[in-house]
Amino acid sequence: SAAEAGLYTASDQILLLSPGNVEAALINSTAAMVVEFYASWCGHCIAFSPVYKSLARDIKEWKPAVNLAAIDCAAEDNRKVCTNYRIRGYPTIKFFHAYSKADSAGLAFKDFSRDVRSLRHKIIDKLESHVEAWPPACPPLEPTSQAEIDIFFETNNVQHLALIFEDAKSYIGREVTLDLLQFENVAVRRVLNTEAGLVTKLGVTEFPSCYLYYPGGNFTRLPVNIEARTFYSYALQRLPGVVRSGRPPSFTTFFHINTTEEPWRPFNKSRVYMSDLESTLHYSLRVELAAQPVFKGEALRSLKKYISVLAKYFPGRPVVMNLLKSVNSWLQNETSGQISYEAFKDILENSAQIPNAALPEGVRWVGCQGSQPHFRRYPCGVWTLFHVLTVQANSTGGSDPLEVLSAMRNYVQNFFGCRPCAEHFENMAMESLMEVNSLSSAVLWLWSRHNRVNNRLAGALSEDPKFPKIQWPSPEMCSACHTVKENGEHRWNREQVLPFLLSYFSSSSILTDYLE
């Protein structure tokens, strides 16, 4: 299809426009729209596409107020749409106000620079240019005043009011306001440094800085490591009582009714548990793989790679390792070109022949427990398993930097039951797996792609409200991992992230609580 041939895919969080959906997206929409008109053959468009994708990740939380879209004008089917919008060169970016009329051609971004930060600022400028109907989901972006604050809690039913003090040129207040758009019980307003009354009342001396303001005039400074957008947004999203809006309300009842569930196992949220890893192996080897009656060709090669990586790098208990090694040696010696699941299963269970070899039956989720039975568990275990394996390959000095990741890629592509997940993961692998050129870059690649998935899934229905998807590790878990560039944009400090991952997923930090 046209969408697949273009520069973006469904996993990019960019609305892919086509003649069938363009009117619904651009005409009379409740959200403003930013549209990139591109041609898939155009070199500048190809070069720009990673920036546009990063922008989509960066302002994902703003979607109800302003959404990103793209259309490939080189696709035959789309020609007419692009002509109607009078597109002459690529890439062209246009902004469509909320409630645009059918005859609106949009506002072109003139001489836009190709970086996320300035595009984001341009989008805010354009949002503020709404004269008639303001997008209903968009909170006020103009600076607030003492007078407004005085009556704020009379007219707004929220627990926390965050005031961001900044100078007129700063966009942080507006960015954080939009970052919090989908959260309840918190409102954000910007206060200019020239608003003398409030500045004096709160004793503000640093710009930017963020204060929490409460009914009756109490206030407190929001503690953050660095005075910058992402640190404010992260801290505000996690204030007590702040929740994502639009959650299904059935949550608590469901949780209480469900008494047949096994008892909750208390655990430390910042540790890895062997019980999750063994549960993952159980489910993968006894349930997921059982969906394949026979392994041959690509599937057989994938199975062999997966088991060999497990036998080599899984930091398991001796009994489990004995089993994995015996299954592996059987499998690698099998030359018939075809193996039935039954034969595989026999070896897996029949290791009675081999003394002291077994994989415990059943699952005991610990760090991967979810607040409801359909949350977390196996997919959480799969991520954890492969993080552990990349780290283990790094510390035992494997020879091929891609050994673990290509085993994972093949496993996911051939066997992982979540098919949309497999497709998204394959897109990421195709896009950037070739950048991995060392064992440590393999560890970092998986970490950063996992964060992309987290970004995409934050707020999705599959997200366990008790375990919100974050850009991981949080500032609380690793403050040195987070830093900012000179212009205040968040930057991961990879020199710190790597040792953090190596230690977090190392075999010596894995807890053995709850094992049989």
Which of the residues are catalytic? 42, 45
Residue 1 CB partners (closer than 8 Å, separation 6+) = none
As measured in angstroms, the least distance from the Cβ of 485 to ligand FAD is: 20
**C-beta of 10 vs 158, nearer to ligand FAD:** 10
Positive/negative CA dihedral, 23, 111, 176, 204:
negative
**C-beta of 451 vs 483, nearer to ligand FAD:** 451
**C-beta of 39 vs 382, nearer to ligand FAD:** 382
**Whole-angstrom distance, CA of residue 233 vs CA of residue 67:** 19
Q: Are 500 and 473 in contact (CB under 8 A)?
A: yes
As measured in angstroms, the least distance from the Cβ of 511 to ligand FAD is: 13
**C-beta of 177 vs 302, nearer to ligand FAD:** 302
Q: Strands 66-72, 32-38: parallel, antiparallel or unpaired by DSSP? A: parallel
As measured in angstroms, the least distance from the Cβ of 57 to ligand FAD is: 13
**C-beta of 258 vs 462, nearer to ligand FAD:** 462
As measured in angstroms, the least distance from the Cβ of 493 to ligand FAD is: 15
Residue 142, classed as helix, strand or coil, is: coil
As measured in angstroms, the least distance from the Cβ of 87 to ligand FAD is: 32
Phi, psi of 187 (to 5 degrees): -125, 150
* CA-to-CA separations, 309 to 84, 156, 322, 403, in angstroms, rounded: 54, 56, 14, 8
Residue 176 CB partners (closer than 8 Å, separation 6+) = 162, 164, 188, 210, 229, 232, 233, 236
Concatenated DSSP letters for 55-123?
A: HHHHTGGGTTTEEEEEEETTSGGGHHHHHHTT--SSSEEEEE-TT--TT---EEPPS--SSHHHHHHHH
**C-beta of 457 vs 502, nearer to ligand FAD:** 457
* CA-to-CA separations, 237 to 21, 61, 160, 512, in angstroms, rounded: 33, 11, 11, 33
Among the listed residues 235, 236, 229, the one whose alpha carbon sits nearest the alpha carbon of residue 117: 229
As measured in angstroms, the least distance from the Cβ of 209 to ligand FAD is: 29
As measured in angstroms, the least distance from the Cβ of 512 to ligand FAD is: 17
Binding site for ligand FAD (CB under 6 A): 368, 376, 379-380, 382-384, 387, 412, 418, 420-421, 424-425, 447, 450-451, 453-454, 457, 460, 462, 464, 467, 472
Conformational region of residue 83, where left means phi above 0, alpha means psi within -120 to 50, and beta covers everything else? alpha
Residue 239, classed as helix, strand or coil, is: coil
Phi, psi of 67 (to 5 degrees): -120, 150
Provide the token pair at 34: 């930013």
**C-beta of 341 vs 383, nearer to ligand FAD:** 383
